[in-house]
Amino acid sequence: MAIGVFFILLAVLLIAAMPVGGVFGIMSILPSIINPSFPYGAADVARSMFAGMNSFTLLAVPLFMVSGMIMAEGGLSERLFNFFAYFIGNKTAGFPCAVIVTCMFYAAISGSSPATVSAVGAMTIPFLVSMGYEKIFAASIVTVAGGLGVIIPPSISYIVYSAAANASPSKLFTAGIIPGILIGFSLMVYSYYYCRKHGEDKEKLLTNYNEIRQREFWRLLKDSFWALLTPVIILGTIYSGMCSPTESAVISVFYGLFVCICIYKSISLRNLGDVFMSGAKTYVNILFVIAAATSFARCLTMLRYPQSISQSVLAVSDNKIVILLIMNLIMLVCGMIIDNIPNIMILTPILVPIAAAVGVDPIHFGIIMTCNLAVGMVTPPMGINLFVASGMTKIPMLKLAKATVPFLIAFVISLLVIVFVPQISMFLPGLAG
């Protein structure tokens, strides 16, 4: 089957809004239907799907999802925001920057971009509006900063990439720290510029800031301590070598339950059933997509498409910068039309060999891929962060997408620095050995 026809048909089915898992399943079986002698039939597709689900590493995905849902239900984002606002709320763009830092911290709890947008945005967007900021500006901050949910560890995307590329999830978690901080800082720089240009209601800001300061530092620290400790426990157990990411995900679930039920008392035992059911419903869809994407990736390998694509890309140029720019463009476009997880499952076997051919470390490339796909989560037509933020604020999605452009420019500038300065990603893994 011609490679061009194959991918055009794939694009048509995806644009037609068919379920992604169903599309991958159909495309996996299609070559054997067209050519009965093709050595990858329906039985092989089924075996690949089951093999794709049988992964200890991927078991961390539903666990981190449930952990994030527990902590969102428990109101941890509000405690984190109040703590950070205590220090910078009286500065120019102080509260918007506190929102971004809260997104960064919550990303280290949930590992999910939409969960970060939902949990942080539900509390901070109305707050920023009450402080005199435009609603669309407040929504834009959370929409783009929520993308850090897949970059700052522990990230579900890193777990999926590690399974697809046979890479170390612990090294990916370590490598993602500095890039996540860099992108967060770039978003703060633009927020500062915006607030200097458009002005702020200083009277409202100082009144609210003084209310936070009146709570006293030690009371505020006591209230937010257990929330602040969450990423330390999750990441500390991984970086110390005490636990694998999957085992750490189990700890995060039990820690979240302990904090929200016993300490903050923000979740009752009656609510737990709804939380676990919501997590199960979400993960069932993701699990089917992972299974179908595994079979699809195997089908591509049998068709030798990755080798053909690799040869075609490398034939364009032998310049590393050109090749990296081409791959980044491919990932950005794919991120706009396909969700994060299936993108990783499909693009990894195709692009990792190309990256290796031009001397890019698989860990560094995992960070590059995740950052590119994070941009796709904020761009139409499939930007899931846009859907979440638009649904919360009732702002039309295209209007919100337009407002996020300046933040995305700051994001992409940081992305290019991460791409072409590998030490940003590889410094900490190098220290860890």
For every residue of 226-265, DSSP letters joined together read HHHHHHHHHHHHHHTTSS-HHHHHHHHHHHHHIIIIIIS-
Q: Distance between CA 333 and CA 328 in Å, rounded?
A: 9
The tokens for 405 are 């452009």
Q: Distance between CA 247 and CA 325 in Å, rounded?
A: 37
The C-alpha angle 329, 334, 338, rounded to 5 degrees, equals 165
Q: Distance between CA 397 and CA 247 in Å, rounded?
A: 38
What b/e sequence results for 289-318 when a residue is b if at least 16 CB atoms lie within 10 Å of its CB, and e otherwise? bbbbbbbbbbbbeebebbeebbeebeeeee
The reported pLDDT for the residue numbered 306 is: 87
Q: Distance between CA 400 and CA 404 in Å, rounded?
A: 6
Q: Distance between CA 142 and CA 387 in Å, rounded?
A: 12
Task: Find, among 256, 238, 257, 255, the residue nearest to 246 by Cα.
Answer: 238
Cα dihedral sign, 370-387-64-226 = positive
Task: Find, among 295, 306, 290, the residue nearest to 43 by Cα.
Answer: 295
The reported pLDDT for the residue numbered 258 is: 92
The reported pLDDT for the residue numbered 433 is: 64
The tokens for 221 are 């620290």
DSSP string, 170-205: HHHHHHTHHHHHHHHHHHHHHHHHHHHHH---HHHH
The tokens for 4 are 């061009």
Q: In a structure prediction context, what are the per-residue pLDDT tens digits for the chain, which is 433 residues long?
A: 678 888 889 888 887 878 888 999 999 999 999 998 988 888 999 999 988 888 888 888 888 888 888 888 888 888 889 899 999 998 999 999 999 999 999 988 887 888 889 889 988 999 999 999 999 999 999 999 999 999 999 888 999 999 899 999 999 999 999 999 999 999 999 999 999 999 998 888 888 888 888 877 888 888 889 988 988 898 899 888 888 888 999 999 999 999 999 998 888 888 788 888 888 887 888 888 889 988 998 898 898 888 888 888 888 888 999 999 999 999 998 888 888 888 998 899 999 999 999 999 999 999 999 999 999 889 887 788 998 999 989 999 999 999 999 999 999 999 999 999 999 999 999 887 6
Q: Distance between CA 76 and CA 256 in Å, rounded?
A: 10
Max alpha carbon distance in the chain (Å)?
A: 75
Task: Find, among 387, 270, 291, 379, the residue nearest to 61 by Cα.
Answer: 291
Q: Does this model's pTM top 0.85?
A: yes
User: Are the beta carbons of 338 and 322 closer than 8 angstroms?
Assistant: no
